[in-house]
Structure formats: C-alpha cells, structure tokens
Amino acid sequence: TKTREVLNTDINDLFKSSRKIDDALFEELEEVLITADLGMDITMEMMDRIRKKAGRLSTADQLKAVLKQELIALFPGKEDPETVPALPRPHIIMVVGVNGTGKTTTLGKLATRFTRENKKVLIAAADTFRAAAIEQVGIWADRAGATIVRHKQGADPAAVAYDGVEAAMARGMDVLLIDTAGRLHTQKNLMEELKKIKRTVEKKMPGAPHEVLMVLDATTGQNAISQAKMFHEAVNLTQLALTKLDGTAKGGIVAAVAGTLHLPIRYIGVGESMDDLQEFDAVRFVNALFD
Amino acid sequence: MFENLSDRLDSVFKKLKGHGTLNEKNIEEGLKQVRMALLEADVNYKVAKNVISDIKTRALGQEVMESLTPGQQVIKIVYDEFTRMMGSKHQALDLGTGSSGSIMLVGLQGSGKTTTAGKLGLYLRKQGRTPFLVPVDVYRPAAIDQLKKIGTQLDLPVFDSTPDMKPLKICQDAQIAAREQGCDTLVYDTAGRLHMDDTLMAELETLKKGVSPSEILLVADAMTGQDAVNIAGSFDQRLDLTGVVLTKMDGDARGGAALSIKAVTGKPLKFIGVGEKFTGLEPFHPDRMASKILGMGDTLSFIERA
Ligand SMILES: Nc1nc2c(ncn2[C@@H]2O[C@H](COP(=O)(O)OP(=O)(O)OP(=O)(O)O)[C@@H](O)[C@H]2O)c(=O)[nH]1
Ligand SMILES: Nc1nc2c(ncn2[C@@H]2O[C@H](COP(=O)(O)OP(=O)(O)OP(=O)(O)O)[C@@H](O)[C@H]2O)c(=O)[nH]1
Ligand SMILES: [Mg+2]
Ligand SMILES: [Mg+2]
C-alpha cells in the first residue's frame, strides 16, 4: 500500500553487504530504532555505542551485527521456559495491565497450555467491571477445559479472587489464573483495588500470588514505561507478556520496561486463538526489529 | 521523567541571549529539543521530521515578540503548527441530510470500539436522535454479549445478532430492524482486526459497500506508538475513513499518535474517549491536544497572553 511504502524504509536495502558506513546509514539505523518504539533513551545510547565502534568496522553488515548484539544485551538473560512447580499448589498467577492489552486472551491461552500439560486449572473471573468480561473468560475456560469461579457483574473482585483461592485449594488445583479488569495506571482507586485483590490472595495463601504477569500491547508507545512502573509499584510484577506481535508494531518499548524493572518477558501473543502464545526469544525479537 | 519542553528550550536559548531574531544557527539547537519532545510523545519519526522542517521555515527570520522569550516563541510556533495540522476546531458528526444515518466503528483489537459504541449511543440520544446499536463482532468471545449488556445498562436498543450470523447479514437485517423500531441512527460495532489482515479488511470493505454508513470512524488508542501511521494509513486507504476517535485519553499518554494519524490520513479527529464510563466521550479539541502532546498542560497560557 502507498502509505506503507512511503513510511517504511526498505531495511534490506540498508544492509546490502558492500554498503559502507556513512552518516546516511546512521540516520537510517536511528530511524529503525525509533520506529520500533525503543524510545529515545535506548536509541541514543545504542547510536552512541555503534558510533564508537564504527571506526573498527568497514561494512554496514558488520555495524548491523554489532547493533543487534547491543540490542540483545538489553534483555535480562534467557531463563528456562516457565514450568509450573509441583509445590506449592495451587500455583497462582494474577494477570494485570491497562485496558484492552490482551489480559483475558493471554490468560485463556495460558489456561490451554497448562491443561494440555494435564494440569488442573481454575480461573477466577475477577474482572467484574467490564460488560461481559465474565462471559468472555468463561468461553476461554471452556475452550481450555478449565473450571471457573465467578460472581455477578459488579461484585467485589477481591471476593472473587478469595473464592478462587479457596476453591483451588479445596479442589486440589494445580494452577489458579486470576483475570483482573483493565485499568489505567493513573487511576488511584483502581490501583488500590488491584492491591486489595493481591492482599486478599496473599492472606488466603501465604506466598501467593506466585506470579504477577503484566500484559503489554506491542502497539503501545512510550506510555508502556509509565504503565509498568506504576503497576510494579502497586503489585510487584514478576513477569511480562507482549501481545499483538502479529501486527506491524515492533513492541520495542518492552526493552526499556524489562531493562528498567529487571523483569523477564515470558510470553508473546501472536494472534487471537489459543495456540497463538509463544515464549519470548530476545534474538528473534531483535531480528524482527530489522524486518 | 522528561523535562518540560519549555524548560529545555529556555536553557537552550539562555546561551543565545541578545539574539532578537530566530536565525538558522540559534534555531537549530531549539529544534533538536522540539524533535526530541515529539518523539518522546510518540509522534511518528517521519511525521516529526516533516513537522520540524515546516516549523523551521516558519520560524526563520521571525522577530521574537516583545512579550515572549525565544524559547516561548519557538513553542508558540510549534503549538500553532500543531493546532493548524490537527484541524483548528472541533468537527461534528456528519450523519447526512436523510431521515436516518449510521456510524461504523473500526479499528485494531482492544482499541475501544465496543465501549465507544455505547458512548456514542448515549451521545446521540442526548442529541435528540434514536440510536440502534449493532453488534457485528462475531469472532471475539462474548463480544456480542458485551454490547447487549451495554445496551441494557444504557437502555438503548441493540440488534439481536448471534455469532453464527454473517457480518454483512447482521448489518443489513439491523437496518430493517432499526426502521421497524423507529430508530434513526445505527452504530455498527465491528470486530477488532489488524490493518494488514487482508481477509478481515476485505470484510469491512464489503460491509461498507453493503450498508453505506454515513460515518466510518477509526477508533484508535491514544497510547499507540510509532505504528499509528501504518494502522491509520491502511484503514483509511481501504475504507476512506470519515474521522477518528482517540480513546483512553484519561491516562498520562502524550498522544502523539493524534498528530501521526492526522498527518497520514488527513481525516478529522472527532472525539476523544476519557474513561470507561459511557459518559466519557468528549469532542476533540486540536488546541488541547497540541498542549498535551507538548506535555505542557496549562503552562501554555503565555501563548494566549502574547
Ligand atoms: N492480533 C492479536 N489480537 C490479540 C492478541 N491478544 C489479544 N488480542 C485481541 O485483543 C482484544 C483485547 O483482548 P482482551 O484479552 O479482551 O484484552 P483485556 O486486556 O482482557 O481487555 P480488558 O479486560 O477490557 O482490559 C481482543 O479482541 C483479543 O482477541 C494477540 O496476540 N494478537
Ligand atoms: N480508561 C479508558 N478505558 C477505555 C476507554 N475506551 C475503552 N476503554 C476500555 O478499553 C478496553 C477495551 O475496550 P473495548 O470497547 O472492549 O474495545 P474493542 O475495540 O471493542 O475491543 P475488541 O472488540 O476486542 O477489538 C475495555 O476495558 C474498556 O473499558 C477510554 O476512553 N478510557
Ligand atoms: Mg479482560
Ligand atoms: Mg469490541
């Protein structure tokens, strides 16, 4: 399409193997980083670094390789893929984030993954605010073969979470997934509500929730930093998921988020169906920035 | 996290005291700061580049006004340029001259279409119209249910779609049902889709052809980053949008996407979404958006005084 032709530089042209390193190349690389939403801080730092190293290099390809290395280094080291520990049971994961990022869908995909591993999965439908949020997560529970604990719309979400923990313990569940309502990080009362949900879970089962998963949308720009900081402050995040990577957005902001908060990016979402969840892989992620 | 643009510019121009005119040399450093501020606000890279070059042309040779510092002068030029780009004043819905009109909402997944459908229903009713909400999202789990619940909550009629119906059939049947129920304005809530998903984009083209909506509004998230140009560009190219609604403006996003979307589509931003409640819909005001993107809130009063 015309717009995209105009707006997307053909990156492959940038790296024709014989291409020399010059100012135009630096400018084009800067454009790649900025349009990937990496943000000005990381972009400037990366540009500084490759400028310093450029003297020892002769081709654009070499420079690109160095840049990729630097970018990969931004992500906390690769850990083993998540497995649900045998104990304590239930393993409780609380899913949080701003509105519409893909929390419920990611939770549904996770439920599917766990039931396929023959885990007994319970879902607590603690988004009692958004219209039909309970029905939505209910359909995901059916798809996944998980059970669900639900109250009426408008009920206290902490009470749903409490009942979820209680039921998971009583029924010997392996995993409890808690879906929470989307909320903007700037809304004090809603962030307090989220804290209360977490406290309630903790009280019922000391040490829980074992994971607090923040779901970020790859389409989001610089605001993701502010989102993650404030959610982290409120409920102490332990991991990140990046959704909607099946679009054209690169989701570069996650580098800044993972870097500043020292959080692992566990999952990426690449579609709307239950199989569209993958492990995050820094090398593939960085390569995709240059596609 | 960021210093205010006006502080940054003041510190740039402090070094250049005594220059009565903005010239090639002293403006350069100032524009660098402006560019940085735009990119931090998520204005698209290419859009920012064009804006900066326009601003430079406008700024060169301008006498600094008595009442302003050079930094304030630059901000005033940027602010005026933004306001001009985004359309100077609020543009109302155009529902045509006939007895009935319709609005089709389109956009990426999770941008706020269904919520906006409810908000528009409320808004239209306040305008004296009789809205009819139409759930066209047969894909997402409980999407139809969501709009039906919203209808109940707001006491607005909702077409009784089911997930096994074809979207075009829903829209066409809804037209008839609306007429029967004496409703004059249909609001079609379509499923979220990616702008490069050819099949689903073609579906929207079919819907457009089938029901000829008076307005096709792109519902976009104010937190959108650099990709806003691709998203808005593609939707506009396939559907020839009539306007844009920017949602989730109640957060702390600077909303540079507004400028990117306007630059790439030329289509008016008509409304902003400012909350999850159904009263959270406001007319779009270019001047307020300009100060938000610049991260300046109320500090722009010096411009009004100048
Ligand atoms: N293309 C694509 N769409 C996704 C992905 N993940 C979620 N979605 C879609 O994004 C939209 C929002 O997803 P939800 O799971 O409802 O988001 P949420 O964060 O629970 O939303 P709220 O509860 O309203 O805050 C839905 O249309 C999903 O189908 C993804 O990885 N790729
Ligand atoms: N804070 C805030 N939240 C909003 C606004 N508009 C929508 N939301 C929330 O954003 C989330 C997604 O909204 P929906 O209306 O379901 O989005 P959608 O575009 O219909 O999503 P799909 O149909 O899945 O593509 C919900 O949690 C809404 O409550 C807004 O202006 N401000
Ligand atoms: Mg949800
Ligand atoms: Mg919807």
Predicted complex ipTM: 0.95
User: What is the pLDDT, as a whole number, of residue A88?
Assistant: 87
On the 0-12 / 13-18 / 19+ scale of CB atoms within 10 A, A77 is exposed
User: What is the pLDDT, as a whole number, of residue B38?
Assistant: 94
3-state SS, B22-54, equals CCHHHHHHHHHHHHHHHHHCCCCHHHHHHHHHH
User: What is the pLDDT, as a whole number, of residue A20?
Assistant: 87
**Percent of chain A whose predicted confidence (pLDDT) is above 70:** 92
User: What is the pLDDT, as a whole number, of residue A6?
Assistant: 41
With a 6 Å cutoff on the Cβ, whether B192 touches ligand 1 is yes
How many other C-beta atoms can be found within 10 angstroms of the C-beta atom of residue B181? Answer: 11
With a 6 Å cutoff on the Cβ, whether B190 touches ligand 2 is no
Q: Supply the mean pLDDT for chain A.
A: 93
Residue B196 confidence (pLDDT) above 60? yes
Residue nearest to atom 10 of ligand 2 (CA): A99
Instruction: Return the ∠ at Cα A58 (arms to A57 and A63), rounded to 5°.
Output: 60
pLDDT average, residue stretch A151-170? 98
> What's the order of all strands across the beta sheet hosting B185-189?
B131-135, B185-189, B101-106, B215-221, B243-247, B269-273, B281-283
User: What is the pLDDT, as a whole number, of residue B153?
Assistant: 98
User: What is the pLDDT, as a whole number, of residue A85?
Assistant: 79
pLDDT tens-digit series, residues B157-175: 999 999 999 999 999 999 9
User: What is the pLDDT, as a whole number, of residue B99?
Assistant: 77
Lowest model confidence (mean pLDDT) among A186-200, A207-221, A263-277, B13-27? B13-27
User: What is the pLDDT, as a whole number, of residue B129?
Assistant: 95
pLDDT tens-digit series, residues A178-226: 999 999 999 999 999 999 999 999 999 999 999 999 999 999 999 999 9
Cα A87 to ligand 3 centroid, rounded to whole Å: 28
User: CA of B233: which chain A residue's CA is closest?
Assistant: A3
CA distances from A53 to A24, A33, A46, A59, A65 (A): 17, 17, 11, 12, 11
- Tell me whether residues A1 and B233 touch, CB distance under 8 A: yes
Q: Supply the mean pLDDT for chain B.
A: 90
Residues 241-280 of B with CB under 8 A from A: 248, 250-254, 256-257, 264, 276
* Minimal Cβ distance to B226: which of A37, A185, A223: A37
Q: pLDDT category, B74, cuts 50, 70, 90?
A: confident
Q: Of B201, B230, B254, which to mutate for an interface test with A (greatest number of A Cβ within 10 Å)?
A: B230
Q: pLDDT category, A14, cuts 50, 70, 90?
A: low
- Tell me whether residues B195 and A248 touch, CB distance under 8 A: yes
Residue B23 confidence (pLDDT) above 60? yes
Q: Which of B267, B265, B208 is nearest to B242 (CA)?
A: B267
pLDDT average, residue stretch B117-143? 97
**Residues 6 or more apart whose Cβ sits within 8 Å of residue A67:** A29, A46, A50
- Tell me whether residues A99 and B276 touch, CB distance under 8 A: yes
Residues 203-222 of B with CB under 8 A from A: 221
- B147 contact residues in A (CB cutoff 8 A): 131
Residue A79 confidence (pLDDT) above 50? yes
**Do B70 and B285 contact (CB within 8 A), yes or no?**
no
- Tell me whether residues A253 and B225 touch, CB distance under 8 A: yes
What is the phi/psi pair of residue A95, to 5°? -110, 125
Specify the higher pLDDT residue, B219 or B92. Answer: B219
Residue with tokens 């029901």: B211
- Tell me whether residues A223 and B253 touch, CB distance under 8 A: yes
Cα A182 to ligand 3 centroid, rounded to whole Å: 6
Q: What is the pTM of this model?
A: 0.95
- Residues, beta carbon < 5 Å, ion ligand 4: B 113-114
**Percent of chain B whose predicted confidence (pLDDT) is above 90:** 68
User: CA of B36: which chain A residue's CA is closest?
Assistant: A40
d(CA B222, CA B245): 9
Q: Of A7, A29, A261, which to mutate for an interface test with B (greatest number of B Cβ within 10 Å)?
A: A7
d(CA B176, CA B160): 12
Which ligand is closest in space to the CA of residue A273?
1
Residue A60 Cα, gap to closest chain B Cα (Å): 22
Q: How many CB pairs under 8 A join A and B?
A: 162
pLDDT tens-digit series, residues A92-111: 999 999 999 999 999 999 99
Residue B91 confidence (pLDDT) above 70? yes
Lowest model confidence (mean pLDDT) among A213-217, A283-287, B84-88? B84-88
- A4 contact residues in B (CB cutoff 8 A): 230, 233-234
d(CA B214, CA A245): 33
Mutational test site, ligand 2, from B104, B108, B109, B114, max ligand atoms within 8 Å of CB? B114
pLDDT tens-digit series, residues A19-67: 889 999 999 999 999 999 999 999 999 999 999 999 999 899 999 999 9
- A221 contact residues in B (CB cutoff 8 A): 42, 223-226, 253, 256-257
- Residues, beta carbon < 5 Å, ion ligand 3: A 103-104
Cα B109 to ligand 2 centroid, rounded to whole Å: 9
With a 6 Å cutoff on the Cβ, whether A104 touches ligand 1 is yes
pLDDT tens-digit series, residues B248-304: 999 999 999 999 999 999 999 999 999 999 999 999 999 889 988 988 765 566 666
B304 CA to centre of own chain:
25
